[in-house]
C-alpha cells in the first residue's frame, strides 16, 4: 500500500507542478461549457411567419391577432412579393395567404401556404401549428367549445431548458475524455521514455503501479469535475436536484471505467499518434451515440441497441437522472449494473494487458 | 559459487520487417561471475549484450536456459532478485517535474526503504543538484544520478549498461573512479561497453559477444596475449581493441 501511495503522491506532485496541464485540464472544459451555455441559453427564437392579408376585414384581423399572440410565432403582415422574398432569404419560415373570401362565411375559404421547398421539413412541422391556430379562431368565431379540450401539465413541474439536459452529458463526456487521455496518453509516454522500465527494475508490482495512477487520476478528476459543476451551477444556473455524494460516486465509477480503458489502449499503442487514433476510435462514436447532445430515443432505430449499451450512455443517463431529476443512484439499479459490467470488463483488460516493456516490436 | 550463474540463455525476437521469422538475439550464453569481480561484456551493436543483462536482471523473459543471482532463480523469484541488484539502464529518462531528491525518495519507497536522498547524492558528488530536475543535468551527471538511484537498495551486484557512452573524458574518468570505489567496497559490478580502454582499465574479466554468442572470455591480459600478440607497429604487443577487431571483424554495424 505504501508503494501505491508513493506512486499516487508523486504523480499528484507532478500534476501540481505542471502549470500547462493544470491550465488545460481546468480551463478547457469550463470554456467548453461556457460556449455551449451561451450558444444554447436564452429563449427560443420565434418562428417568422408572413401573412398576406387579401381579405383585410375584421375576421382576418382577429385571425392575425390570435396567431400573433402565440409566443412561438413572429407575425409579419406585408405584400406577397415582399414576403416571398423573405422566405427565399430564409427570414421567414412560411407565408400564409388569406384569400379575399376569408370572412367566416359558410363556404370554406382556401388558404395558401407559401414555403421554401428546401425547408419543407420545417414547414411540415409548422403546418399543424398553423392549422391549430386556424381551428382556434374558427371555434371562437362560431362560438363553439372544443369537444376534447387538452390541458398540458408538465410532469417535471419545472421548466427544463436544453442547457439543463446538456450539462450532465457534457460532464460525463469531459470525464471520459480526461480519463482516457489521463491514463492512455501518459502510459504510452512513460513507456516510450523508458520510465516504466526504470520502475520495473524495482520490486514494484503492476497492480501497485496501476492502482497508484488510478488514485492520482481520480483525485485530479474529482477536482476537475468539481470545477465544471461549479461553473454549471453558478454561471449557467443549472440546478443540481440530486445528492452530490451520489453524483461524485458516479463520477468515480465512470472515471475508473475510462481510466482502465485508457490503460488497456496504452498497452497496445506504441506511439502517441497511435494512442490518439485509438482514443478517438473509442471516444468519438460515444461522443455522438451516448445521448450527450440529444436523447438516445431520438436516434435512428438501428443505432439505438448499440447506443444504449455504451459505457458513456450508462454514465450520461445516471448523471442526468441525478442532476436533472434528483433520482437516487439506488433507484437506477439497471444503469448501475451496466456501469459495473463495464468496470469489470475494462479493469480486467487493463491489468491483463499491462506491459512494462516495449510493445512487441 | 558464482554470484551470477547464467546457463545457456536464449532469447528469440521476430526479425525486423519479417514478423513471421525469428532470430536469436541471445544464443546459448553462459556466464559465471564471481563475487567482488568487475565483469565486462563487450560486443558490437546488436550483439545481444543488453538483452543478456536484462534476462539476468529479470526484466526480459527467458526463452530457454536459467539464471541464478546469489542463488535465487530469476525466473521463479524475479522480485527477490530485484531486491538485491542495482540496475542502471541505457535510457535515463524520469518523470518530468520531479527533482533528484523527489525521485530518489520515490525509488526508496519502492524498495520499502527510507534513504536520505542527500547521502545518496553525495556518493556520486551530486548533492548540489538535489533540487534540480534530471533534464537540467549534463550527460555525466545523468549517468551518476542513474547510479545513485541504482544504489538505493545497497545492492550486492550493480549492473551498468554502457555507462560511459557519450561522455567526455573527464566525466568518463569520474565515473570509472566511482565504479572502482564501489568495487573496492565489495560490490560486484557487471557492465557492458564499447570502450576497450574502459574494459581494460576497469574489468577483472571480460566476455566478448557477437551475434548472440560469447566468442571469447578471460582476463584482458589473457585475451590480448591470445588474440593480439603481434603488435602492428613498435608497441610490445597490441591492445584490447586489436583483440576486439580481430574477433568481431572490421565491418560496420548499424
Weakest mean pLDDT among A113-122, A248-257, B149-158: A113-122
Give me the residues paired with residue B161 across strands: B192
Query: What is the structure's pLDDT at B239?
Result: 76
Q: What residues of chain A, 339 to 358, have a C-beta less than 8 Å from chain B?
A: 356-357
Query: What is the structure's pLDDT at A248?
Result: 93
Domain membership of residue B205 as a residue range = 4-248
CB B101 within 8 A of CB B128: no
| Inter-chain touch A6–B83, beta carbons under 8 Å | no
What domains lie within chain A, and their CATH numbers?
Answer: 2-40+161-353 (no CATH), 47-142 (3.40.1710.10)
Q: What residues of chain A, 32 to 91, have a C-beta less than 8 Å from chain B?
A: none
Weakest mean pLDDT among A84-93, A175-184, A339-348, B212-221: A84-93
Say if B254 falls within a structural domain.
no
Query: What is the structure's pLDDT at A58?
Result: 80
**Nearest-neighbour CA in chain A from B110: distance (Å):** 5
- How does A71-87 read in b/e, with b if 16+ C-beta sit within 10 Å? eebebbbbeeeebbebb
Q: Mean per-residue pLDDT for A208-237?
A: 87
pLDDT digits (tens, 9 = 90+) for B115-166: 999 999 998 999 999 999 999 998 889 989 999 999 999 999 999 999 988 8
* Chain center to CA of B185: 18
Give chain B positions within 8 Å (CB) of A10. Answer: 95, 98, 102, 106
Q: For chain B, how many structural domains are there in total?
A: 1
Task: Report the chain B residue with the minimal C-alpha distance to residue A4.
Answer: B110
The per-residue pLDDT of chain A, averaged, comes to 83
Give chain B positions within 8 Å (CB) of A185. Answer: none
Give the pLDDT band (50/70/90) at residue B231: low
CB A256 within 8 A of CB A273: no
CB B127 within 8 A of CB B99: no
Nearest to A6 among B79, B83, B106 (CB): B106
Q: Does A194 touch chain B (CB under 8 A)?
A: yes
In this predicted structure, the answer to whether residue B90 has a pLDDT above a threshold of 90 is no
**Nearest-neighbour CA in chain B from A343: distance (Å):** 28
- Of the two residues A153 and B136, the one the predictor is more confident about is B136
Query: What is the structure's pLDDT at B208?
Result: 94
Weakest mean pLDDT among A200-209, B13-22, B174-183: B13-22
**DSSP conformation class of B127:** G
Query: What is the structure's pLDDT at A361?
Result: 37
Sign of the dihedral through C-alpha B214, B220, B222, B227:
positive
Residue A63 has which C-alpha cell?
385571425
Element housing A349 (H / E) = helix A333-353
pLDDT digits (tens, 9 = 90+) for A36-84: 667 665 555 677 888 888 888 887 887 788 778 777 778 888 888 888 8
- Of the two residues A250 and A67, the one the predictor is more confident about is A250
Say if B161 falls within a structural domain.
yes
Residue by residue, DSSP assigns A124-176 as HHHHHHHHHHHHHHHHHHHT---SS------TTSS---HHHHHHHHHHHHHHH
- Distance (Å, rounded) from C-alpha A10 to C-alpha A213? 10
Query: What is the structure's pLDDT at A359?
Result: 46
Instruction: Identify which of A64-68, A105-109, B64-68 has the greatest average pLDDT.
Output: B64-68
Element housing B169 (H / E) = helix B169-184
**Nearest-neighbour CA in chain B from A201: distance (Å):** 6
- Distance (Å, rounded) from C-alpha A188 to C-alpha A274? 9
CATH number for the domain spanning B223: value is: 3.40.50.300
Say if B208 falls within a structural domain.
yes
Nearest of A178, A350, A351, A187 to residue A264 by alpha carbon:
A350
Say if B20 falls within a structural domain.
yes
| Inter-chain touch A197–B91, beta carbons under 8 Å | yes
Query: What is the structure's pLDDT at B93?
Result: 83
pLDDT digits (tens, 9 = 90+) for A315-338: 999 999 999 888 888 989 999 999
Amino acid at each position: 500500500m505504501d508503494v501505491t501511495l508513493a506512486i499516487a503522491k508523486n504523480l499528484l506532485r507532478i500534476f501540481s507542478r505542471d502549470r500547462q496541464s493544470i491550465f488545460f485540464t481546468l480551463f478547457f472544459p469550463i470554456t467548453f461549457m461556457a460556449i455551449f451555455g451561451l450558444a444554447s441559453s436564452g429563449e427560443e427564437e420565434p418562428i417568422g411567419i408572413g401573412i398576406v392579408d387579401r381579405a383585410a376585414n375584421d375576421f382576418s384581423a382577429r385571425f392575425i391577432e390570435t396567431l400573433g399572440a402565440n409566443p412561438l410565432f413572429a407575425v409579419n403582415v406585408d405584400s406577397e412579393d415582399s414576403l416571398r422574398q423573405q422566405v427565399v432569404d430564409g427570414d421567414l419560415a412560411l407565408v400564409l395567404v388569406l384569400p379575399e373570401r376569408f370572412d367566416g362565411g359558410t363556404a370554406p375559404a382556401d388558404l395558401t401556404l407559401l414555403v421554401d421547398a428546401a425547408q419543407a421539413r420545417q414547414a411540415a412541422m409548422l403546418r399543424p401549428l398553423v392549422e391549430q391556430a386556424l381551428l382556434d379562431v374558427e371555434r371562437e368565431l362560431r362560438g363553439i367549445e372544443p369537444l376534447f379540450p387538452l390541458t398540458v401539465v408538465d410532469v417535471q413541474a419545472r421548466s427544463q431548458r436544453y442547457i439543463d439536459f446538456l450539462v450532465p452529458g457534457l460532464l460525463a463526456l469531459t470525464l471520459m475524455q480526461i480519463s482516457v487521455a489521463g491514463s492512455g496518453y501518459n502510459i504510452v509516454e512513460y513507456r516510450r521514455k523508458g520510465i516504466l522500465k526504470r520502475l520495473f527494475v524495482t520490486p514494484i508490482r503492476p497492480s501497485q503501479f496501476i492502482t497508484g495512477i488510478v488514485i492520482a487520476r481520480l483525485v485530479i478528476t474529482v477536482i476537475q469535475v468539481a470545477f465544471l459543476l461549479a461553473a454549471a451551477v453558478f454561471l449557467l444556473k443549472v440546478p443540481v436536484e440530486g445528492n452530490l455524494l451520489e453524483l461524485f460516486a458516479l463520477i468515480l465509477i465512470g472515471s475508473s471505467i475510462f481510466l482502465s480503458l485508457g490503460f488497456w489502449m496504452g498497452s497496445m499503442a506504441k506511439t502517441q499518434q497511435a494512442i490518439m487514433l485509438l482514443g478517438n476510435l473509442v471516444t468519438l462514436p460515444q461522443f455522438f451515440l451516448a445521448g450527450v447532445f440529444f436523447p438516445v430515443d431520438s436516434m435512428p432505430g438501428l443505432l439505438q441497441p448499440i447506443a444504449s449499451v455504451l459505457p458513456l450512455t450508462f454514465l450520461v443517463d445516471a448523471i442526468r437522472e441525478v442532476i436533472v431529476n434528483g433520482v437516487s443512484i439506488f433507484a437506477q439499479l439497471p444503469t448501475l449494473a451496466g456501469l459495473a459490467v463495464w468496470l469489470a470488463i475494462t479493469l480486467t483488460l487493463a491489468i491483463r494487458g499491462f506491459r512494462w516493456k516495449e510493445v512487441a516490436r | 559459487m558464482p554470484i551470477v550463474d547464467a546457463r545457456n540463455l536464449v532469447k528469440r525476437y521476430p526479425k525486423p520487417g519479417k514478423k513471421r521469422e525469428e532470430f536469436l538475439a541471445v544464443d546459448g550464453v553462459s556466464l559465471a561471475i564471481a563475487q567482488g569481480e568487475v565483469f565486462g561484456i563487450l560486443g558490437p551493436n546488436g550483439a545481444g549484450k543488453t538483452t543478456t543483462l536484462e534476462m539476468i536482471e529479470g526484466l526480459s523473459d527467458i526463452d530457454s536456459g536459467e539464471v541464478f543471482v546469489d542463488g535465487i532463480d530469476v525466473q521463479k523469484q524475479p522480485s527477490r532478485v530485484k531486491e538485491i541488484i542495482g540496475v542502471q539502464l541505457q535510457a535515463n529518462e524520469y518523470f518530468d517535474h520531479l527533482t533528484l531528491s523527489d525521485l530518489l525518495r520515490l525509488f526508496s519507497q519502492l524498495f520499502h526503504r527510507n534513504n536520505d536522498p542527500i547521502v545518496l547524492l553525495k556518493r556520486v558528488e551530486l548533492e548540489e543538484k538535489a533540487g534540480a530536475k534530471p533534464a537540467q543535468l549534463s550527460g555525466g551527471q545523468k549517468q551518476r544520478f542513474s547510479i545513485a538511484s541504482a544504489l538505493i537498495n545497497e545492492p550486492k551486484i550493480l549492473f551498468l549498461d554502457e555507462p560511459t557512452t557519450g561522455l567526455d573524458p573527464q566525466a568518463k574518468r569520474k565515473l570509472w573512479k566511482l565504479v572502482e570505489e564501489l568495487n573496492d567496497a565489495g560490490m560486484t559490478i557487471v557492465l557492458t561497453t564499447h570502450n576497450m580502454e574502459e574494459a581494460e582499465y576497469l574489468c577483472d574479466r571480460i566476455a566478448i559477444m557477437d551475434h548472440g554468442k560469447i566468442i571469447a572470455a578471460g582476463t584482458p591480459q589473457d585475451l590480448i596475449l591470445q588474440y593480439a600478440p603481434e603488435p602492428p607497429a613498435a608497441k610490445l604487443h597490441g591492445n584490447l581493441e586489436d583483440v576486439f577487431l580481430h574477433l568481431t571483424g572490421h565491418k560496420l554495424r548499424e
